[in-house]
Structure 1
Amino acid sequence: MFHPSHPGETLREDVLPALNLTVTRAAEQLGVSRVALTRVLQGQAGISIELARRLEQWLRHADGTGPTAESWLRAQLQYDLWQANRTPAPHVAPAPGLEALSKA
C-alpha cells in the first residue's frame, strides 16, 4: 500500500539540506515563524494555502519552473486522505432524492 509522506518531510529531508539552510533561516526567507515552520517540518501541521503560495515563490527557478502551490497542496491532500483512510469511514446514509439529481 502506498504511504505518502507528509510534505513537511520533503522540506526537511530534501529542500533545506539542498539549500544548506537552517530552519530559522528558511523561516526568515519564507516570512513565517520558526515555530510554524518547525510544526510543518515535523508533520504536526499541514501545508496551508498561504504556505504553499510562499513555497512556490521561494522555490521558483529563474526559468519559472519549480514546485507549484498546487503541487504542495496536492501532496498535503494525499497525505491527509491516506491518514483519514486508516480509520473506519463514518456511516452516512445516502442523501434522500439522490436519484433525482442523476436524472437532471
Structure 2
Amino acid sequence: MHNPPHPGEVLRELCLEPLGISVTDAAEALGVSRKTLSAILNGRAGISPEMALRLSIAFDTTPESWLAQQSQYELWQAEQHRSELKVRKLVAA
C-alpha cells in the first residue's frame, strides 16, 4: 500500500477548489462549523460517518467512499508503527 492522502486533502483538491468554493461557504452548505471543516481539510480531524453522509449528499458521492479513504489513510499511518507494537502471535495449544 502506498501513502494515501488524508481525505481532507482530497476534499480540498478534488471538490472545493475545482468548484471555487470557500471553506466558509462549504461549511455552511454542509451544516457544520468552519472550524470543523477546516480541521478536516488540514488533516487534524478525520471523516466521521456523519460527515461522510454530509459529503455524499453535497457532492453526489457515496458515504462509503469517504469512509474508505479515511480507513485507508489511518491504516497506512498505523502500519508505519508496526514494529513498535508489542504483540505476540496466538496459536492453538
Q: TM-score, normalised by structure 1?
A: 0.80
Task: Give the match for residue 80 of structure 2.
Answer: 86
The structural deviation recorded for 1:47 is: 0.5
Partner Cα distance (2:11, 2:88) in 1: 40
1:45 maps onto 2:45 in alignment: yes
Matched, 1:69 2:71: no
Uncovered stretches (5+) of structure 2, i.e. residues with no partner: none
Aligned residue pairs total 92
Distance in 1 between the 2:52 and 2:65 partners? Answer: 8
Q: Which residue matches 2:32?
A: 32
Q: Higher helix share goes to which structure?
A: 2
Match of 2:13 in 1: 13
Would you identify which runs of 4 or more consecutive aligned residues in structure 1 move more than 6 Å? none
Q: How much is the aligned-residue C-alpha RMSD, in angstroms? A: 1.6
Choose between structure 1 and 2 for higher RCO, CA contacts under 8 A separated by at least 6 residues: 2
Larger radius of gyration: 1
CA distance in 2, matches of 1:25, 1:6: 21
Gaps of 5+ in 1: 61-66
Question: How far 1:89 sits from its partner (Å)?
Answer: 4.8
- The alignment's TM-score, normalised by the length of structure 2, stands at 0.89
